[in-house]
C-alpha cells in the first residue's frame, strides 16, 4: 500500500509540480490549499481566490483529491500579530520564517497526520534527508533561510522534491511538459500572505503611526519621517531627504519616534562584527555537539539572499570573520555547516 502524502498547494508552479512528481513516484497524493489570509488592503486585492482556483485546477488535471484547510485564525494570531508587535518594538521580523515554524510545518503537518496522511510535501527550494535540512541544488533559489526553525521530526515527515532541480527554468519546463495550468504563472511578490502589497501599506492598517524627526550623523535635524516603525536599518529609499549624498538609516528610537541616518557608508553604526542572538533553535539537537560547534568554522546568512559569512558561535554570540552592514534586530542569523543547515537565532 502506497504512502499517503498531503501536498501544500499554494497555486504556484513549484507546489503544482511537487504534486505531479509525487504522483508519478507512486504516492497516494492529496492536494491541500491552506487558507491563511483572505483580507484585502485598500488599493491591493489579496490574491487568495486566484491562487485557490489555480491549485484546484491543478488537482483536477492530476486527478487527485483536493481539500482546503482553514488556518486563517491561527495565522492571524501566530504570524500577523507577531509581525505587527515586532515592528512596534522597532525590530524587523521575518513573517515567512514564523509561517513555516507555526503553520506549514506544525499546524499543517499535525492536521494532515490527523487526517490519515503519512507525510506532507511542499514546493520549497530545499532538501531533506533523515530529518536534516540541506541546501537546494539551485543555490540562487534556495529557501533554507526561511526553514531553519523547523524541527527534525517535522523534516523527517516532509518531502521537498523541488530542491533537486537546478533552476526555476527547469521547474517550469517540467511543469509545461506535464501540461500543468500553473507552468507559466509568475512568482508571487511582496509579503508572504498579502501578495503585492508593501509592508508600509500593510502596517498602516493596524498601526497608527505619527510623524517624527530625522537626525543625521552630526546630530542635525534634516527632515521628517512618517513613523519610525516603517524604517529598517540600512534603508536608503523612502526617506525623502533631498540633496547631495544618499542617506542610510543607522538606528531608530521608538520611544521618541526618531530616525537616525548617515551619508557615511563606513559609519560604525552601520557595521557589526559581533551579533547577539536570542531564541536559538537547533534542527537536530540530539546530534549537535555544542562544544565541538564552538570550535568549528561555520557560515552564517544574515538575510535572505545575503552572502554566506564565515563565523564562530559561542554562548549565543556570533563572531563574524568580516564586518557586515545593516544588520537588523528581529531578523534571523542562520547557520550552515557545508550544505547542512544547523539552525540559528533571532538577532538582538
Residues annotated as part of the active site: 99, 192
**How many Cβ atoms are within 10 Å of 96's Cβ, its own excluded?**
18
**Sheet of strand 28-35: strand arrangement:** 65-70, 28-35, 4-8, 119-121, 158-159
The answer to whether 290 touches 337, Cβ cutoff 8 Å, is no
Position of cell 544574515?
A: 302
Q: 286-316: b or e for each residue (b if 16 or more CB lie within 10 Å)?
A: eeeeeeebeeeebbbbbbbebeebebbbeee
Three-state SS at 209: coil
Position of cell 555547516?
A: 337
Distances (CA, A) of 134 to 30, 127, 130, 193: 25, 5, 10, 25
Amino acid at each position: 500500500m502506497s504512502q499517503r502524502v498531503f501536498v501544500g498547494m499554494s497555486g504556484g508552479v513549484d507546489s503544482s509540480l511537487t504534486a505531479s512528481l509525487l504522483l508519478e513516484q507512486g504516492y497516494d497524493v492529496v492536494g491541500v490549499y491552506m487558507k491563511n489570509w483572505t483580507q484585502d488592503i485598500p488599493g491591493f486585492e489579496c490574491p487568495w481566490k486566484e491562487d485557490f482556483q489555480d491549485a484546484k485546477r491543478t488537482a483536477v488535471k492530476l486527478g487527485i483529491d483536493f481539500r482546503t484547510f482553514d488556518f486563517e485564525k491561527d495565522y492571524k494570531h501566530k504570524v500577523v500579530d507577531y509581525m505587527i508587535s515586532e515592528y512596534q518594538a522597532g525590530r524587523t521580523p521575518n513573517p515567512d520564517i514564523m509561517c513555516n515554524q507555526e503553520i506549514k510545518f506544525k499546524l499543517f503537518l499535525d492536521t494532515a497526520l490527523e487526517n490519515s496522511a503519512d507525510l506532507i510535501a511542499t514546493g520549497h527550494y530545499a532538501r531533506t534527508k533523515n530529518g536534516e535540512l540541506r541546501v537546494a541544488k539551485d543555490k540562487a533559489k534556495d529557501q533554507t533561510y526561511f526553514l531553519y526553525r523547523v524541527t527534525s521530526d517535522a523534516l523527517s515527515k516532509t518531502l521537498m522534491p523541488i530542491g533537486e532541480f537546478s533552476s526555476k527554468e527547469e521547474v517550469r519546463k517540467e511543469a509545461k511538459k506535464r501540461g500543468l495550468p500553473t507552468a507559466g504563472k509568475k512568482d508571487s511578490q511582496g509579503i508572504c500572505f498579502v501578495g503585492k502589497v508593501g509592508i508600509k501599506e500593510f502596517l498602516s492598517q493596524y498601526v497608527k503611526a505619527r510623524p517624527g524627526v530625522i537626525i543625521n550623523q552630526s546630530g542635525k535635524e534634516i527632515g521628517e519621517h512618517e513613523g519610525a516603525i516603517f524604517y529598517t536599518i540600512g534603508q536608503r529609499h523612502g526617506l525623502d531627504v533631498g540633496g547631495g549624498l544618499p542617506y542610510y538609516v543607522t538606528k531608530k528610537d521608538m520611544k521618541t519616534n526618531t530616525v537616525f541616518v548617515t551619508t557615511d557608508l563606513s559609519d560604525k553604526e552601520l557595521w557589526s562584527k559581533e551579533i547577539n542572538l536570542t531564541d536559538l533553535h537547533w534542527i537536530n539537537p540530539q546530534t549537535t555537539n555544542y562544544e565541538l560547534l564552538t570550535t568549528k568554522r561555520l557560515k552564517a546568512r544574515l538575510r535572505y539572499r545575503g552572502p554566506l559569512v564565515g563565523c564562530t558561535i559561542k554562548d549565543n554570540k556570533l563572531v563574524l570573520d568580516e564586518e557586515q552592514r545593516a544588520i537588523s534586530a528581529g531578523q534571523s542569523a542562520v547557520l550552515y555547516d557545508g550544505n547542512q543547515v544547523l539552525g540559528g537565532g533571532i538577532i538582538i
